[in-house]
């Protein structure tokens, strides 16, 4: 089956797919390099495993399904200093994977999704997108967390980022505007929930209602045929070599040795409490619910099952984390970025995965010395574009539940938490419906006689 899928996808091997394949590196590389330098994560092992995930998901889903770091776990590990170590990071990834796999096997996620207001999903997309765009712009302008502005000149200066931004605007954006739906677009008699994902994994393919009409097949010719992201990554590697030529000469041949990570009981406790619990809502909401929503919008002819996505996230981490690979998941931001830069099928991530595996097997952990010099200004541009694409997918101009959308997006952006944003949106959604129900009941009793006939207001005066 996989061989047949690979053969059928071979004709999609284009420069645009290659460009879209690297469209998510603005998210992947910073976390990979940060964890490798601060927590001794093995770059070669992580590339081999994440590349294998790319190949498998590309064959199974036939869309540019991204493989991203678990951002909350990575962020906590990078900001907590010595308080969390590599075994605890792996324990957190395994714990999250176990819960998500359980939700997938028991098919509980589709039932939860049926109760999710569509405005909350759009708000999550908008908030996450703006958050990614903000991080990308900061990475493009500032050198580090101390907000020190980059110099204008140099291999990683402001001029490099500015030139990259102008290049992306001229190549990756076009004047045609997609038509957006509204929050009230569901069929009459249906609740305002996520119609496109259905009641179960088996019925997901039967739902053709989409949240955002922008089929990928209508945009096969994209951006004048210029592979923007591929050119940016190529330029970044060239600038890395120019900045530190000795790192190229210092690359060693051969993969990293594969070792099992020893996780103690204390590591399990700290990993679950400090990193897994904050990551779990983000994985369920962004890596399963939001990515399925965006996929259904971009590829309506290839509907995604949330159950299958949950199984994918759970399986790949239950395998890779035991060997010290980067904890990974799928994500709406990565899908948006790869789509924006040209990816339209699973061939994009298959190419990306093959490249990762090849690099991991050839150079192993020695690649870190080269990647650490990759221009942050270029990564910032790519991350900002990915964020804006995701935010655009969540933006709705005419929405019956605008308050839910905006509160969800604002809380997600303000508190940097999809869980808080999601809960805030649900609270507003519930209050709006309680108010509507109370208003209907009040007026119904006010203008009815005991026998149930309506009366004029003058009769009661």
Domain count, the chain: 1
Task: Supply the DSSP symbol for 186.
Answer: S
**Does 250 fall in a domain?**
yes
Say how far apart CA 273 and CA 278 lie, in whole Å.
Answer: 8
Over 70: is that where the pLDDT of 4 sits? no
pLDDT, tens digit, 9 for 90 and up, residues 152-209: 999 899 999 999 999 988 886 665 444 443 344 333 333 333 333 333 333 333 333 3
Under the banding of pLDDT at 50, 70 and 90, the label for residue 229 is confident
Residue appearing with tokens 């999809």: 418
User: What average pLDDT does range 310-321 have in this prediction?
Assistant: 96
CA distance linking residue 243 with residue 200, whole number of Å: 52
**pLDDT confidence band for 429 (50 / 70 / 90):** very high
Q: What is the mean pLDDT of the chain?
A: 80
The reported pLDDT for the residue numbered 326 is 95
Give the pLDDT confidence score for residue 333 in this predicted structure: 84
For residue 37, the surrounding DSSP H or E stretch is helix 25-39
- Tell me the mean pLDDT in the region 364-388: 87
Write out pLDDT tens, residues 13-38.
788 888 888 888 877 888 888 888 87
Residue spans of alpha helices (H) in 106-190 = 108-114, 118-141, 158-172
Structural tokens at position 429: 């959604």
Q: What is the reported pLDDT for 56?
A: 95
pLDDT digits (tens, 9 = 90+) for 412-427: 889 877 788 888 999 9
Average pLDDT rounded to a whole number, residues 360-388: 88
Confidence band (pLDDT; 50, 70, 90) for 110?
confident
Higher-pLDDT residue of 393 and 34 is 34
Res 43 pLDDT > 80: yes
Q: Report the 10 Å Cβ neighbour count for 458.
A: 6
Cβ-contact 229, 22 below 8 angstroms: yes
Q: Determine the Cα–Cα distance for residues 287 and 282; give it in Å rounded to an integer.
A: 7
Residues above pLDDT 90, as percent of the chain: 33
- Is 147 domain-assigned? yes
Name the DSSP letter for residue 284. I
pLDDT of residue 233: 86
Q: Which residue has the higher pLDDT, 453 or 378?
A: 378
Phi, psi of 212 (to 5 degrees): -155, 105
Structure confidence at residue 192 (pLDDT): 34
**SS3 at position 265:** helix
* Model pLDDT, residue 6: 56
**436 or 89, which is more confident?**
89
pLDDT of residue 132: 81
pLDDT tens column, 263-277: 999 999 999 988 898
Question: Quick one: what percent of the chain has pLDDT higher than 70?
Answer: 79
- Poorest-pLDDT segment among 41-45, 163-167, 229-233, 377-381: 229-233
Angstrom distance (rounded) from CA 53 to CA 93: 15
Angle 209-211-213 from CA coordinates, rounded to 5°: 85
Query: How far is 320 from 27, CA to CA, in rounded Å?
Result: 19
- 446 has pLDDT over 90: no
Domain range holding 218? 2-419
Supply the pLDDT for residue 204.
35
CA distance 206 to 208: 6
Highest mean pLDDT among 43-52, 132-141, 236-245: 43-52
- Going 400 to 403 to 408 to 412, the CA torsion angle's sign is positive
Q: Report if residue 67 sits inside a domain.
A: yes
Instruction: Identify whether the C-beta of residue 218 lies closer than 8 Å to the C-beta of residue 124.
Output: no
Calpha distance 96→70 (Å, rounded): 10
DSSP designation for 184 = T
Q: Which of 156, 175, 192 is nearest to 405 (CA)?
A: 192
Predicted confidence (pLDDT) at residue 400 exceeds the cutoff of 80: no
CA 401 to chain centre: 24
Domain for residue 178, yes or no? yes
Task: Report DSSP state, residue 283.
Answer: I
Predicted confidence band of residue 352 (pLDDT cuts 50, 70, 90): very high
H or E element in which residue 324 lies = none
């Amino acid at each position: 089956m996989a061989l047949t899928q690979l053969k059928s996808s071979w004709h999609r091997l284009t420069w645009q797919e290659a460009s879209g394949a690297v469209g998510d590196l603005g998210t992947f590389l910073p976390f990979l390099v940060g964890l490798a330098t601060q927590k001794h994560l093995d770059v070669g092992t992580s590339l081999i495993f994440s590349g294998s995930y790319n190949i498998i998901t590309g064959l199974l889903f036939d869309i540019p399904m991204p493989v991203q770091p678990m951002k909350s776990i990575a962020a906590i590990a990078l900001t907590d200093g010595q308080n969390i170590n590599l075994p605890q990071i792996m324990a957190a990834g395994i714990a999250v994977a176990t819960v998500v796999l359980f939700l997938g096997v028991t098919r509980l996620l589709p039932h939860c999704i049926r109760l999710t207001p569509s405005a909350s999903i759009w708000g999550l997309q908008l908030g996450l997108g703006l958050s990614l765009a903000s991080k990308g712009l900061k990475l493009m302008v500032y050198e580090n967390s101390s907000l020190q502005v980059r110099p204008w000149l140099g291999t990683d200066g402001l001029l490099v980022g500015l030139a990259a931004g102008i290049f992306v605007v001229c190549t990756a954006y076009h004047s045609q505007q997609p038509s957006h739906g509204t929050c009230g677009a569901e069929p009459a008699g249906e609740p305002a929930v996520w119609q496109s994902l259905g009641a179960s994994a088996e019925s997901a393919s039967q739902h053709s209602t989409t949240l955002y009409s922008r089929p990928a097949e209508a945009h096969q010719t994209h951006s004048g045929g210029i592979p923007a992201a591929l050119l940016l990554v190529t330029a970044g590697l060239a600038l890395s070599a120019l900045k530190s030529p000795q790192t190229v000469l210092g690359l060693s041949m051969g993969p990293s040795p594969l070792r099992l990570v020893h996780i103690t009981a204390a590591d399990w406790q700290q990993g679950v409490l400090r990193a897994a619990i904050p990551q779990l809502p983000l994985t369920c909401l962004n890596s399963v619910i939001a990515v399925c929503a965006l996929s259904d919008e971009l590829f309506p002819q290839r509907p995604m099952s949330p159950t299958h996505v949950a199984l994918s996230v759970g399986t790949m981490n239950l395998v890779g984390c035991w060997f010290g690979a980067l904890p990974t998941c799928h994500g709406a931001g990565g899908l948006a970025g790869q789509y924006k830069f040209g990816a339209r099928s699973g061939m994009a991530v298959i190419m990306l995965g093959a490249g990762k595996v090849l690099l991991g097997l050839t150079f192993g952990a020695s690649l870190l010395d080269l990647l650490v010099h990759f221009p942050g200004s270029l990564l910032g541009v790519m991350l900002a574009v990915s964020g804006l694409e995701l935010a655009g997918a969540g933006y709705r101009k005419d929405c019956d539940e605008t308050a839910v959308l905006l509160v969800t997006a604002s809380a997600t952006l303000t508190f940097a938490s999809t869980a808080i944003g999601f809960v805030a949106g649900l609270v507003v959604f519930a209050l709006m419906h309680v108010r509507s129900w109370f208003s209907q009941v009040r007026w119904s009793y006010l203008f009815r006689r005991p026998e149930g006939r309506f009366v004029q207001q003058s009769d009661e005066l």
